[in-house]
Chains A and B, each alone.
Chain A
Amino acid sequence: MTSAAPRVVSVHDGSEALAQALASEAEWLWVLAEGARPRHNALERLVAAIEPEDAAPATVLAGLLVDEHGEALDDRIQAAPRIDSDAAVRLVGQQLLPIRSAGFAHCLVARAAFSRHGLPDVRRFGPFAAQEWTARVLRSEPGYLVPASVVVLPTLAERADRGTPLLHLVAAMRMLPTGTWSRGDAACTIWRALAGRHPS
């Protein structure tokens, strides 16, 4: 368990662990995948980005996922950028990018967001529950990628949420009626899933 100001609790992804962490007094939950190894200052960099200049405070902050050699991992498990060129240009000088969804491999989440949106629905969305949850939260709330905050993950082949294009498509179709995506996002989601991309 890690603490900083504001109060942060670190937790491994999973419904039981999340429920336990939510019982604590922490304001932020730092959710990490099993086996994730944060690099130096990974948490501090996420915390420093909670309130960017000239932009709304974040509800979700995601970091960069790399392999043992420092190479960025496959696009399918990185946070998905919000397709908003203006926001990207305005934020990139602060080393931030706006995001539309993220997995729980390396993610700082405001505890209050769980009160507003409930827990990720693992029963319905399986390994894509975190993506669905963050996409639902970030439909109306801001989230940022902090690429200077890095964790090393086991190779993609070992990860359960890697999925196949068919699994991604099924997950994307399941998300459509949930209100996770706007109409425009939904079209992009299906398109990307069909193109073999991550459903975010």
Chain B
Amino acid sequence: MTATAASRVCAIVVTYNRRDMLRRCLAALAAQEHPVDMTVVVDNASTDGTADLVRDQFPDVELLSLEHNVGGAGGFEQGLSWAHRRGYEWLWLMDDDTLTLPSTLGALLDGARRAPGREPLLVCSDVRWKDERLHPMNVPLPRWRDRGHLAQAAASGLLAVRYATFVSVALRREAIDRFGLPLAHYFIWGDDVEFTARVLRHERGYLVPQSRVYHWTPEPHHGAGVDTDRFYYHARNSLQLLRGSSLSPVERVDYGRYYLRSIGRYLVVNRGDRRRLRILLRGLRDGLRGRPR
């Protein structure tokens, strides 16, 4: 099958020290019924032989070896920039622990074609955990506040979404032309929500339920774990998201409630732990610094 210019797809996989997961991810991408025109692996300075694996077993895959670990946010920023410069129409993003089915990409692009009205800038997959339940980290936010549009999309079997995560999300290159790249300084957590919310604030994007992937995390957890030092990134990035322009004022109220609840849970779980309290305060301080996008 020869891909037309309108459907040239570059898959972008960001990886860090998960060689075996990456192997499965790349093998699944190679088996797509709608072929991927290029796959690029952004290696966040892995030390487990990831680069050798890609070079030896997947010679057609482009490897971007970064000198330092720049997190998922930096990795996607680099990968998107690379693919955009080379003119691909669709930029299909995922982590290394994403397992696609042979029909995943074809169904995504079909979904984009049958979308009502103007062409969407983003389509994403139905993300499941190993046991088939919806992965709680990757359920996108439906566009609840636009009932007419939500209904017209549903009539086409699509769910109009307000934001999505970087686990099998395909972006049209126009999204980068108009809205730029994800914010690399987020490092992890929230970069996908900020970026997709920015793109979809006045544009259209859909979940395509026929396009399914599996997010092979050890547990079906939510993103922002309250029992880890990484909560710093949640505290900082969410605050920057709230200060930025990706969300409407009403959406900021909703997101702010979620943010405050997560901080409340963190404080309860880490009661009496002064080091964890300092991590939170540092996240809040850094979230208030600088001019958000």
Contact = CB atoms under 8 A, between A and B. Distances in A.
A179 to B, nearest CB: 23
Interface string A113-156: 00000000000000000000000000000000101100000000
Contact of A72 (B140, B144, B148, B253): B148
Given A85-B140, A86-B134, A92 B157 contact: yes
B141 interface: yes
Given A85-B142, A86-B139, A92 B147 contact: no
A88 B142 contact: yes
Contacts of B250: 195
Contacts of B146: 75
B157 A72 contact: no
Contact of A78 (B134, B148, B157): B148
A147 B151 contact: yes
Chain A interface bracket (under 10, 10 to 19, 20 to 34, 35 or more): 20 to 34
Scoring A79, A85, A94 by chain B CB atoms within 10 A of each residue's CB, the highest score goes to A85
A147 to B, nearest CB: 4
Nearest to A198: B147
B151 A93 contact: no
B147 A80 contact: yes
Contacts of B141: 85
> In terms of DSSP, what is the predominant structure of the interface of chain A?
mixed
Given A64-B155, A145-B154, A147-B154, A89 B149 contact: no
A13 to B, nearest CB: 20
B151 A90 contact: no
B142 to A, nearest CB: 5
Interface string B131-160: 000100001111011111111101111110
A85 B222 CA distance: 14
Given A79-B147, A85-B142, A92 B159 contact: yes
Nearest to B249: A195
B209 interface: yes
A94 B154 CA distance: 8
Given A78-B147, A80-B147, A81-B150, 7 more contacts: A75-B145, A89-B140, A92-B159, A93-B126, A93-B157, A97-B154, A147-B154
Interface of A: 64, 71-75, 78-81, 83, 85-86, 88-90, 92-97, 145, 147-148, 191, 195
30 contacts: A64-B152, A64-B155, A71-B148, A72-B149, A73-B148, A75-B146, A75-B148, A78-B147, A78-B148, A78-B151, A79-B151, A80-B147, A81-B142, A81-B144, A83-B144, A85-B139, A86-B134, A86-B139, A89-B140, A89-B209, A90-B134, A92-B158, A92-B209, A97-B150, A97-B151, A145-B151, A145-B154, A148-B155, A191-B253, A195-B250
